[in-house]
């Protein structure tokens, strides 16, 4: 039977937790990673009405873009609607997981989905590129133990480079040592200088796998005291970054592009911040969620229009003064993630024979209405 941890493990290969912004409370929100899963519901928000929907749908696992718990609970007073919602989740054995800015930062994630919908082509990250945390492990083993140790490291997750697994580099050499009086050497004798034909085995290790790989190294190595080097790599792996910026196939005006955004995003309105609604638009930046504070980055990257949400009054004035135009469809425009998440989990379910049902919440959680 598939468990929450199996689904989470696969998702975190796509959008590692380390890619989340500092302080973002992503991950397991409530419940257990050991929960068996028959039915998953994907949603933008975890609100009481969404939980009621999940209960009615007999859902075991809610996967949300916005974490359910942005603030810790100090008193579990059930007269508070949010707390009552948590109680209902516990009562009905529903586990909740939140993937927020790690999904925003992921290649092929939220901001790529938005860029595709908004017909932004030839995209690159809006914010400065970052690289995942990787280490290089070099361990010295006797020749006869080389295959055993290397295979153990690979089995623990080491040696993954892009679409390649089982990667390693080896080089022969000679190891010298003198076992002390309390040593229990695999090779050599107490207080005698020993020379051994060894192989240096080098593998790359993702930060998330570091402890597991080191445990595998110690468990598989024949020496009482394995000799190894472990150091951090810079600018290794696939870079990632928040937001996207690119170009439109055909230039249009600020006003016409704002109307286009309103239509394809399926929102009731957009707020337009501009001093020149007739200005031609060729380069567009987008950042899902509350991205107005990053408008200077859109300017530096040469954007004509920046699509993001939650622009405040005074920031709007600063944007107009800067000459940039901003289209604000409201934070709920991230709801496009639901269909993409559903498709992604269904694909993984087919590939891994999970035999789970994946549904998308039909509840509109936008707190704003317009009259």
Q: Which residues are annotated as a binding site?
A: 65-66, 104, 331, 334
As beta bridge partners, residue 169 has 202
Q: 271-273 and 244-253 as β-strands: parallel, antiparallel, unpaired?
A: unpaired
CA-based angle 12:17:18, to the nearest 5?
Answer: 125
Report the C-alpha gap between 263 and 256 in whole angstroms. 11
Give dist(CA 226, CA 367) in Å, integer.
Answer: 58
Task: Determine what percent of the chain falls in helix, strand and coil, rounding each to the nearest 5.
Answer: 35, 30, 40
Dihedral sign, CA of 15, 17, 23, 26?
positive
Which 3 state secondary structure label does DSSP give 160? coil
The closest of 158, 172, 145 to 226, measured between CA atoms, is 145
Residue 281: enclosing H or E segment and its boundaries? strand 280-290
Cα separation, 72 vs 195, whole angstroms: 58
Q: Which residues are annotated as a binding site for a divalent metal cation?
A: 65-66, 104, 331, 334
Q: Which of 100, 42, 31, 1 is nearest to 347 (CA)?
A: 42
> If you write DSSP's letter for every residue of 14-55 in order, what string do you get?
HS-GGGSPTT---EEEES-TT-B-SEEEEES---HHHHHHHH
Region of 308 (left: φ > 0; alpha: ψ -120 to 50; beta: rest) is: beta
């Amino acid at each position: 039977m598939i468990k929450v941890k199996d689904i989470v493990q696969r998702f975190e290969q796509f959008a590692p937790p380390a890619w989340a912004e500092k302080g973002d409370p992503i991950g397991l929100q409530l419940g257990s990673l050991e929960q068996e899963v028959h039915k998953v519901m994907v949603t933008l928000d975890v609100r009481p009405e969404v939980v009621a929907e999940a209960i009615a749908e007999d859902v075991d696992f809610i996967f949300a873009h916005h974490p359910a718990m942005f603030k810790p609970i100090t008193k579990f007073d059930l007269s508070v609607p949010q707390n009552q919602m948590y109680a209902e989740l516990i009562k009905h054995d529903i586990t909740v997981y939140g993937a927020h800015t790690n999904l925003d930062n992921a290649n092929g994630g939220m901001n790529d989905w938005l860029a595709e919908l908004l017909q932004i082509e030839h995209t690159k990250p809006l914010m400065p590129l970052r690289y995942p945390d990787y280490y290089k492990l070099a361990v010295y083993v006797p020749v006869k133990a080389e295959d055993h140790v290397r295979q153990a490291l690979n089995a623990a997750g080491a040696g993954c480079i892009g679409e390649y697994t089982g990667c390693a580099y080896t080089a022969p050499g000679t190891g010298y040592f003198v076992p002390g009086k309390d040593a229990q050497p695999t090779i050599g004798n107490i207080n005698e200088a020993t020379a051994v034909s060894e192989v240096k085995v080098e593998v790359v290790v993702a930060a998330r796998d570091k402890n597991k790989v080191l445990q595998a190294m110690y468990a598989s190595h024949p020496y009482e005291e394995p000799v190894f080097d472990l150091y951090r790599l810079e600018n290794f792996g696939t870079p990632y970054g928040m937001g996207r910026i690119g170009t439109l196939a055909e230039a249009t005006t600020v006003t016409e592009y704002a109307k286009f955004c309103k239509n394809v995003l399926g929102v009731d309105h957009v707020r337009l911040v501009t001093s020149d609604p007739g200005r031609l638009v060729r380069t567009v930046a987008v950042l899902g969620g509350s991205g107005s504070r990053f408008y200077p980055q859109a300017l530096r990257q040469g954007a004509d229009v920046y699509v993001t949400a939650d622009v405040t009054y005074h920031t709007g004035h600063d944007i107009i003064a800067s000459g940039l135009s901003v289209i604000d469809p409201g934070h709920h425009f991230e709801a496009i993630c639901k269909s993409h998440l559903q498709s992604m989990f269904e694909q993984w379910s087919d590939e891994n024979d999970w035999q789970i049902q994946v549904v998308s919440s039909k509840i509109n959680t936008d707190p704003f209405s317009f009259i």
